Structure 1
Amino acid sequence: MSVLAVEALSKSYGGVQALDGVSFSVSAGELLALIGPNGAGKSTCFNIVNGQIRADSGRVRLNGRDVTGASPRRMALEGVGRSFQVAQVFGSMTVRENVQTALLAARHRLLGFLRPAATLLRAEAEALLEQTRMAARADEPAAALAYGDVKRLELAMALATAPRLLLMDEPTAGMGVEERLALMALVRDLARTNGLAVLFTEHSMDVVFGHADRVIVLARGRLIADGTPQQVRADPKVADIYLGRRGGAE
């Protein structure tokens, strides 16, 4: 059974059809890239899945359960983690404290963080930092990290909820070539090891075609391609889209 199943999602804004009957699924251990030109409907689709906006019609199922219209908080409780295009960490805290805060929030114990940080979920935080290759930076303030390390810290924080599905919005934005390829290789390893389903949007085609297991392409709110990176790269409709002769509505 798929971790995420999106069924015939549609959404319009006035006379603009942002999504038109979009369906796809993501399985455990799979990295699915959602791509398309600006205005294709990617953000609308992503934010419906996350619960930030409501679809006009269609269904979102998580682990077989209908979660259509659920709030972002409910989605987090159902096992959905998220990272953002602009990394969101606490610069004044250490790397470890950031992860401890995420763990406490996931367990509804944020007020407990008023006690000394070193006593709270330290082992769990360090295990997540080990997974994301940030253990050596645990005692450094997040504000002192290079941007690639900030993104790995944000990944550790997203994993604090023990998600079944991870949503990544432009995960490599602002990163150099080597940094972004290294980050996505890490995400792929975590997905395989933890049985994590990953849905990500991305503009860097080296990331998409180098690391995704499957790629889906939106144009004018419709799904025009769904297949392996090789299949999608060879699809004439996709080539047409990226040559700029078609677009859509975000």
Structure 2
Amino acid sequence: MTTILDVERIEKSFGGVRAVQGVSFSIEAGEMLALIGPNGAGKSTCFNMLNGQLRPDAGRVRLLGQDITGLAPRRVWRLGVGRTFQITATFGSMTVRENVQVALLSHAHRLLRFWRPAPEHFADEADALLARVGMAEQAERACGVLAYGDLKRVELAIALANAPRLLLMDEPTAGMAPRERVALMALTRDIAREQGIAVLFTEHDMDVVFAQADRIIVLDRGRLIAEGSPAAVRANPEVQAVYLGAGLVHG
């Protein structure tokens, strides 16, 4: 298998708080890797060092062998890293198709010719992405009127617009109904395997994590305390202690 992301002993401190302490892991093509931990574990800090929002104090981040440590988010995105966010970020007054077209235009880095209206650019490509995420029939609707679960699917299509090799998903099912959560992550898993995309996601819904992740890494107070298959992580005594009463250790 091809290693898409290789993270080597990254660290980040804020004043006297060591938010991330020497964390290392890797992700293979087509793999779904869940990053979990209690509040304050360092998940968001770790996540933000991978796409350039934060620069590590130490360590290295490599994408397909290329050192991307500390590169700006836009440069990281252009190298093939897509991202979704806990709170959806779409243009509410624009149609579903237009939102995806904007992402495709940005990826192509194309300057629009004044005699050609923007909605004509990449319409077919946008429709193909929307079909893949089950949103083709709503292409003409404004994003501002969509149900939240549908917005999450549009956001996934936008994240796929730059043909990513790595997809970072921050709390992708937050605010969704249980059935929608399962459907979105199953769709993501299918796309990842079809296209060889490595997916790293954070998630508080342990049912989603154990059902969809191929592997799980667990952070606690900035340290990586466990890594392995869902079954191995569930049986880990230290993980059980960290999550006792939080629903991780049930059968």
What is residue 4 of structure 1 aligned with on the other side?
Answer: 5
Please give the per-residue CA displacement for 1:39-58, whole angstroms capped at 9, x wherever unaligned: 00101100001110111100
Contact 1:92 1:143 (C-alpha < 8 Å) held by counterparts: yes
Structure 2 gap segments, 5+ residues each: 247-251
**Cα distance, 1:89 vs. partner?**
0.6
3-state SS of paired residue (2:86): coil
Please give the per-residue CA displacement for 1:73-117, whole angstroms capped at 9, x wherever unaligned: 110111000000000111111111111111011111264599434
**Cα distance, 1:244 vs. partner?**
7.1
**Cα distance, 1:118 vs. partner?**
4.0
Please give the per-residue CA displacement for 1:106-133, whole angstroms capped at 9, x wherever unaligned: 1112645994344211110011011111
What is residue 222 of structure 2 aligned with on the other side?
Answer: 221
Judging changes above 3 Å, is the alpha-carbon distance between structure 1 residues 128 and 34 closer, same or farther for their aligned structure 2 residues?
Answer: same
What is residue 248 of structure 1 aligned with on the other side?
Answer: none
**Cα distance, 1:3 vs. partner?**
0.2
Contact 1:91 1:143 (C-alpha < 8 Å) held by counterparts: yes
Instruction: State the AA in 1 paired with 2:19.
Output: A
What is residue 234 of structure 1 aligned with on the other side?
Answer: 235
What is residue 174 of structure 1 aligned with on the other side?
Answer: 175
Instruction: State the AA in 2 paired with 1:155.
Output: L
1:139 aligns with 2:143: no
Please give the per-residue CA displacement for 1:175-197, whole angstroms capped at 9, x wherever unaligned: 01001110000000000111000
What is residue 159 of structure 1 aligned with on the other side?
Answer: 160
Distance in structure 1 (CA, Å) of the matches to 2:23 and 2:113? 43
Please give the per-residue CA displacement for 1:130-165, whole angstroms capped at 9, x wherever unaligned: 111111111111111110000000000010011000
Structure 1 gap segments, 5+ residues each: 246-250
What is residue 75 of structure 2 aligned with on the other side?
Answer: 74
Aligned pair count reads 245
Contact 1:113 1:120 (C-alpha < 8 Å) held by counterparts: no
Distance in structure 1 (CA, Å) of the matches to 2:193 and 2:226? 24
Contact 1:29 1:198 (C-alpha < 8 Å) held by counterparts: yes
3-state SS of paired residue (1:3): strand
**Cα distance, 1:10 vs. partner?**
1.0
TM-score, reference length from structure 2? 0.94
Distance in structure 1 (CA, Å) of the matches to 2:222 and 2:116? 49
Instruction: State the AA in 2 paired with 1:185.
Output: A
1:184 aligns with 2:196: no
What is residue 38 of structure 1 aligned with on the other side?
Answer: 39
- RMSD of the TM alignment (CA)? 1.5
Distance in structure 1 (CA, Å) of the matches to 2:21 and 2:147? 40
Contact 2:101 2:119 (C-alpha < 8 Å) held by counterparts: no
What is residue 193 of structure 1 aligned with on the other side?
Answer: 194
What is residue 91 of structure 2 aligned with on the other side?
Answer: 90
